[in-house]
Amino acid sequence: MLDIKFVRENPEVVKQNIRNKFQDSKLELVDKVLELDKENREIKQEVEALRAQRNKISKQIGALMGQGKREEAEEVKKQVAASAQRIEELSQREKEVEEELLKDMMIIPNIIDPSVPIGKDDSENVEVQKYGEPVVPDFEIPYHTEIMEKFNGIDLDSARRVAGNGFYYLMGDVARLHSAIISYARDFMINRGFTYCVPPFMIRSNVVTGVMSFAEMDAMMYKIEGEDLYLIGTSEHSMIGKFIDQIIPEEQLPQTLTSYSPCFRKEKGAHGIEERGVYRIHQFEKQEMIVVCKPEESPMWFDKLWQNTVDLFRSLDIPVRTLECCSGDLADLKVKSVDVEAWSPRQKKYFEVGSCSNLGDAQARRLKIRVNGEKGKYLAHTLNNTVVAPPRMLIAFLENNLNEDGTVNIPEVLQPYMGGMTKIETK
């Protein structure tokens, strides 16, 4: 969410940013919020003047009564009552205006970084760099669920009977591999200086609206019936929410946290054939990283965060690339975002396995996350990035480590988490 003062002083900048994001339907919101802001300030000025006048004339009542001027005193009382009524009316309108203003301000997208490429959607994202040599073996690589089934590692039919489509049972060595990747990712981030955290898996509505746009909320979140609670779609929501309404001493920055959680997502809409199996599902587990820092340090932390994911995948010998998200592919709160994509030897292309985002002070403004520094209080910057989400990571891992005989190699760094196993054998 933008600062209303910034919108007031830079309306054309805000409008051009909306055009750059190809959201022209929101252009009228800028003029609307400016009108609401003007009305709000005028109401405050009138209320302040009325209160000052009321206080001034109220003092006359006692003096007039003391002088026996009852009729004049009664007239002054009527003026005071009229002022009080007008103040009440204005205060009610002020509340309505501020609620409408806040609602509209939360729909206007954040100002994107000047380095973000302009494009309509993810088809116009820009490749930044490749890491590792993508390899296509001279034998056929089955679909990822077929690989898992050869290890008796997945049961989709039982999951459909129990919970419906979009769920799965992981079994045996595949389930163990899933947990091993999560544990390895946890220790990988701890070794990079991040503090490990297991957060609440449900959050209140004020945290939800603080960390994401209304459109994202509707598309992603599951609400708990009869409660002001939502299941988290990613632990970033809960982790950033940890700092709601907090004033952080500047010397305690940056806050660097890595968190484990299950994630729950509606995943609305139809999906292609490559998104069957465990690619796009309603429930999965993930290791996340978040940073709360000084504004001037957020670009540096942004580069560190996506590099962590690249380094983790390369430590498992999985080729990856980074993509700069274009303007039309950025969620409304994001200033800048880079996707990390892993190589799929079966598809002979890369696919998304993580996303790194700098949200500037947008979440901090909504959640009132402030920093107490030498020059006073200011809003923090927040960033987040996927360390690893095993469902998609499993796809990349199995395809890139599959042997022609159907076995899957376990990289050396992961072997301690697999009880010393060097290969997963078919059953």
Active site residues: 265, 280, 352, 355, 392
- C-alpha 200/C-alpha 204 separation (Å) is 11
Q: 286 vs 40, 236, 301, 333, CA distance in Å?
A: 44, 10, 20, 22
Residue whose structure tokens are 């077929």: 146
DSSP conformation class of 402:
B
Helix, strand, or coil (residue 406): coil
Q: Which amino acid is it at 107?
A: I
CA distance 226 to 389: 30
Quote the CA–CA distance of 188 and 308 in Å, as a whole number.
9
Residue 42 tokens read as: 């005028």
**Cα–Cα distance, 47 to 69 (Å, whole number):** 29
Instruction: Give the 3-state secondary structure of residue 74.
Output: helix
Q: In terms of C-beta density within 10 A (0-12 exposed, 13-18 middle, 19 or more buried), how is residue 65 classed? A: middle
Alpha carbon separation from 258 to 173, 231, 232, 236, 380 (Å, rounded): 26, 19, 16, 9, 18
- Residue pair 326/116 in contact (Cβ under 8 Å)? The answer is yes
- Show the DSSP H helices in 106-242 as ranges: 144-150, 156-163, 172-190, 205-211, 214-220, 235-241
The per-residue DSSP string of 36-62 comes to HHHHHHHHHHHHHHHHHHHHHHHHHHH
Q: How far apart are CA 396 and CA 352, in angstroms?
A: 10
Closest CA to 267 of 282, 284, 286: 282
